[in-house]
């Protein structure tokens, strides 16, 4: 039956009603459809076609095109109830199918249409889209379920309070942290279980929330059911009404007792380690991976005069090794040890030993390095002294064997000369010279034995100036050959010293011979003596020779070390030993092309 035939079959009264309905339904945004008693579609409004996508013609061909197949039977039964019993169906929520195949949630209101006589002549169905509302309801239910699970199972304590800070609700987790059941906790007075020292702070925060209506963060101590105090970190959130008035308070609290205990233990530990770091003689520093110093112990300033070790003060020969060791520590993330020479502000060089240790964070990343540096100058000096002692021991053994080997032929030569001396009396001067030289050779051999074993000094009190004058006379002819002038300047007071004369002469000869060798020509050697206040006498030998570089000065006195082409390196070694045996000190300073100064300090005879 087409639309025109349907119109013809209807009474005039029905047509008038349909036109009236048509004008009404076109102005609403709900989807409206009207059917006759046979279920034939009479009318759909524009909102219906826009919402469902189905047109009036589509419904003429298939009355139930918008009803999903499983719901067709139910839909027919509800239509039968309306048609047969005139029953109105309101708020019926179901699913309908759009023309594009998508499903929508709708709320239907189905009503019978009556004529003026009260007879049912058709049905009207008003459909409202409730898809978004249903989704929102489902999301709300899901959200409520999630929050309920969260509140009931969270480790934090969640509680609500009224405007007078009376407890309204508390989560079950309160029993885990404070020992109270939720019911017991709600019965406790709010401020009775707060530490007395924290009550005023809590009241001030409550007043601040009331005035500013903003969240606040706080820490307080709450009494456990067993009587001891627990630390809680809480965030208080005011819950506002539509009028922006505070209705209640939501407080989320976290148990930080273990953290506070750990912080206190850490604070004590830091105090202990800081005390160690600030009072140790070692240099302790924290360095980042870029090599920048983040912390340095006060010992840096005490020893170095600066607050950190300056890379530019590291000896140029050692700097590449230090860089290489630091790079290796960055790559391997393992502790390293390095030794290097460091220049102080006064120009002195000292030895450092540094131990670098990587520090790892919880993620296993190495961001910082601990560096512990120790001054090992004294240890290095002791090592060098031990090395010299070992060399001296070897030289002493060698000197002893050489001395014994030389003395045997010397004894024979001296005996034969003494035997032949009466027969060559006319040339007695020759034999006297030969015997004198043999005695001198024997004396030199005896000096070699000084290196071999400790000697008992035959000490006697002698005028110091006379010993120096004898040495000057001995070397004066050699100095004249080189056109070198020897000047002496003695103290006005005669100086007596207790010494082994020949050994002290040997020292002075060695020093002056070195000066003669260092001066090319037209030079000067100056010898001065000066009485010191501590019952000591200072003997200073100075020359204007070629000098010695500052780097080589520490090596003077090493066995076999010499700057002279034909030297043996034993002269200063023996001289140092002789002066030490005389309870004296020897000090050498020199500068290239300016000369050398040798200062000897000896005790004065009482």
- On average, the pLDDT of the chain sits at 80
Q: What is the DSSP letter of 161?
A: E
Question: How far, in Å, CA of 414 to CA of 425, rounded?
Answer: 16
Res 83 pLDDT > 80? no
- Residue 43 bridge partners (DSSP): 34
In sequence order, which residues have a C-beta less than 8 Å from that of residue 278 and are 6 or more positions away? 297, 298, 299
Please write the tens of the pLDDT for every residue from 7-39. 454 455 555 555 665 666 667 778 888 888 887
What is the arithmetic mean of pLDDT over 379-385?
75
The Cα 532–Cα 23 span in angstroms is 133
**295-353 pLDDT tens trace:** 777 777 777 777 777 778 888 888 888 888 888 877 777 888 888 888 888 888 888 88
pLDDT score recorded for residue 224 = 92
CA gap 550, 541 in Å, rounded: 18
Half-sphere exposure of 83 (CA within 13 A, CB side): 15
* φ, ψ for residue 281, nearest 5 deg: -80, -20
DSSP string, 460-491: EEEEHHHHHHHHHHHHHHHHHHTT-EEEEE--
Q: What's the pLDDT band for 540 if we cut at 50, 70, 90?
A: very high
Q: Between 493 and 28, whose confidence is greater?
A: 493
- Give yes or no for a contact between 253 and 230, defined as CB atoms under 8 angstroms apart: no
Share of the chain above pLDDT 70, in %: 83
Q: What span, in angstroms and rounded, lies between the C-alpha atoms of 380 and 148?
A: 73
pTM of the model: 0.36
User: Which residue segments constitute the domains of the chain, with CATH numbers given?
Assistant: 3-135 (3.30.450.20), 154-261 (3.30.450.20), 305-375 (3.30.450.20), 381-452 (1.10.287), 460-603 (3.30.565.10)
Over range 389-404, report the average pLDDT. Answer: 68
Q: Of 87 and 197, which is predicted with more confidence? A: 197
Tell me, rounded to whole angstroms, the distance of Cα 200 from its chain centroid.
Answer: 40
Tokens linked to 511: 């020093």
Looking at residue 446, its pLDDT comes to: 66
Range with lowest mean pLDDT among 349-353, 446-450, 552-556:
446-450
What are the two backbone dihedrals, phi and then psi, of residue 123, each rounded to the nearest 5 degrees?
Answer: -135, 150
Strand partners, 489: 528
Q: Report, as an integer, the average pLDDT of 578-594.
A: 87
Question: Is pLDDT above 50 for 566?
Answer: no
Displacement of CA 308 from its chain's centroid (Å): 15
pLDDT in tens, 128-138: 888 787 777 77
Q: What whole-number distance in Å separates Cα of residue 430 and Cα of residue 436?
A: 10
What pLDDT was estimated at residue 602?
A: 92
């Amino acid at each position: 039956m087409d639309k025109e035939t349907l119109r013809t079959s209807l009474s005039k009264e029905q047509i008038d009603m349909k036109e009236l309905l048509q004008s009404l339904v076109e102005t609403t945004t709900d989807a409206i459809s009207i059917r006759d008693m046979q279920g034939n579609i009479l009318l759909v409004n524009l909102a219906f076609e826009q919402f469902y996508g189905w047109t009036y013609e589509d419904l003429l061909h298939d009355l139930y095109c918008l009803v999903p197949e499983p719901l067709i039977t139910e839909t027919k039964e509800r239509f039968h109830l309306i048609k047969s019993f005139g029953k109105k169906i309101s708020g019926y929520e179901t699913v309908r199918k759009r023309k594009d195949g998508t499903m929508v949630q709708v709320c239907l209101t189905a009503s019978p249409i009556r004529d003026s006589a009260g007879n049912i002549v058709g049905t009207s169905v008003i459909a409202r889209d409730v898809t978004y509302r249903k989704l929102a309801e489902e999301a709300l239910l899901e959200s409520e379920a999630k929050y309920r699970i969260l509140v009931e199972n969270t480790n934090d304590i969640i509680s609500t309070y009224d405007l007078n800070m009376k407890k309204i609700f508390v989560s079950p987790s309160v029993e885990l942290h404070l020992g109270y059941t939720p019911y017991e906790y709600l019965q406790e007075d709010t401020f009775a279980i707060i530490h007395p020292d924290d009550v005023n702070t809590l009241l001030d925060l409550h007043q601040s929330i009331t005035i500013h209506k903003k969240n606040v963060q706080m820490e307080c101590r709450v009494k456990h059911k067993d009587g001891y105090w627990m630390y809680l970190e809480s965030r208080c959130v005011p819950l506002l009404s539509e009028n922006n008035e505070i209705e209640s308070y939501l407080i989320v609290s976290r148990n930080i007792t273990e953290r506070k205990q750990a912080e206190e233990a850490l604070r004590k530990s830091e105090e202990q380690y800081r005390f160690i770091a600030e009072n140790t003689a070692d240099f302790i520093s924290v360095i980042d991976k870029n090599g920048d110093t983040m912390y340095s112990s006060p010992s840096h300033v005490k020893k170095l005069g600066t607050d950190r070790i300056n890379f530019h003060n590291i000896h140029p020969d050692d700097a590449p090794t230090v860089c290489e060791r630091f790079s290796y520590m960055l790559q391997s993330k393992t502790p390293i040890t390095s030794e290097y020479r460091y220049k102080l502000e006064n120009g002195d060089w000292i030895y450092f030993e540094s131990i670098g240790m990587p520090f790892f964070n919880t993620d296993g990343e190495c961001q910082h390095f601990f560096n512990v540096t120790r001054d090992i100058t004294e240890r290095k000096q002791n090592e060098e002294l031990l090395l010299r002692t070992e060399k001296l021991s070897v030289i002493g053994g060698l000197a002893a064997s050489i001395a014994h080997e030389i003395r045997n032929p010397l004894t024979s030569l001296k005996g034969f000369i003494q035997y032949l001396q009466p027969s060559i009396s006319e040339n007695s001067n020759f034999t006297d010279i030969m015997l004198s030289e043999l005695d001198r050779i024997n004396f030199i051999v005896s000096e070699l034995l000084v290196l071999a074993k400790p000697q008992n000094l035959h000490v006697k009190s002698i005028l110091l100036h006379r010993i120096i004058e004898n040495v000057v006379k001995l070397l004066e002819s050699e100095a004249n050959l080189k056109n070198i002038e020897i000047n002496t300047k003695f103290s006005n007071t005669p100086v007596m010293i207790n010494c082994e004369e020949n050994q002290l002469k040997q020292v002075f000869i060695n020093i002056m011979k070195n000066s003669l060798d260092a001066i090319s020509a037209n030079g000067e050697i100056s010898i001065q003596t000066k009485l010191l206040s501590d019952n000591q006498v200072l003997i200073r030998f100075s020359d204007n020779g070629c000098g010695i570089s500052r780097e080589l000065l520490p090596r003077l006195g090493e066995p076999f070390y010499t700057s002279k082409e034909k030297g043996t390196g034993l002269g200063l070694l023996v001289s140092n030993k002789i002066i030490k045996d005389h309870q004296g000190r020897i000090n050498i300073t020199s500068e290239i092309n300016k000369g050398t100064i040798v200062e000897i300090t000896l005790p004065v005879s009482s």
